[in-house]
Amino acid sequence: MKIQDIVKTVDHTLLKQCSTSADIINLCHEAVKYGAASVCVPPSHVKTAAEFLKGALPVCTVIGFPNGYSTTAVKCFEAADAIKNGAEEIDMVVNLGLVREDRFDAVLEEIKAVKAACGDKLLKVIIETCLLTEEEKIELCRVVSQSGAEFIKTSTGFGGGGATREDVALMRRECAAHVKVKASGGIASLEDAEDFIKLGAERLGTSRVIKSVIEKENGK
């Protein structure tokens, strides 16, 4: 697979707590230079990224992040506020307490509410696979397929584990065809990225793919 075909699936990501505006602008520079799908930045940096990019790439951000236990009203406000500031894509974390209680109807209603707040902007639903049983993963694939969200996403990267090949294959198999899969967390190399794409991921959340490309260019 050509490197540019891998990079164009990447949400070039920087979600570290101490990220500065300069860090975000550098991330945007790299994403544009190498042809990423978007930049994924903290909510407080959405406006900075959007003003810098001026539509050159979509800005993605996260809500209910990383734990997912904000109220539905707060998640909806976060989504609407991010969109007002220039976000085109929203990655939300599900309420894992509701999942553990088998309250999947409530999970579905929350995702629908956030999707309504997003309007025509993309919604990606983070299910945090490392904390789920096989049965919970399968049920969440069903829920996301019914919710109106455009993507299901493996991980926050802050939950103790990231995307696995097995989880991406399961999500692609269990989700409806209209739901796309985003693999995130633990994508350490171009080889990892290619594997996830071949298994059905259409987006990759990572900072390391473009870093790998830069290192290749520099002969490292």
| Dihedral (CA of 79, 83, 84, 85) sign | positive
Catalytic, 33? Answer: no
Select which of 91, 115, 124, 137 is catalytic: 91
Cα torsion at 16, 161, 215, 21 (round to 10°)?
-10
Select which of 153, 167, 180, 192 is catalytic: 153
Peptide bond into 66 cis (omega under 30): yes
Distance, in Å, from the CA atom of 177 to the CA atom of 165, rounded to the nearest integer, reads 19
Select which of 124, 137, 182, 192 is catalytic: 182
Catalytic, 91? Answer: yes
DSSP-assigned states of every residue in 85-109: TT-SEEEEE--HHHHHTT-HHHHHH
Q: Annotated active-site positions, please? A: 91, 153, 182
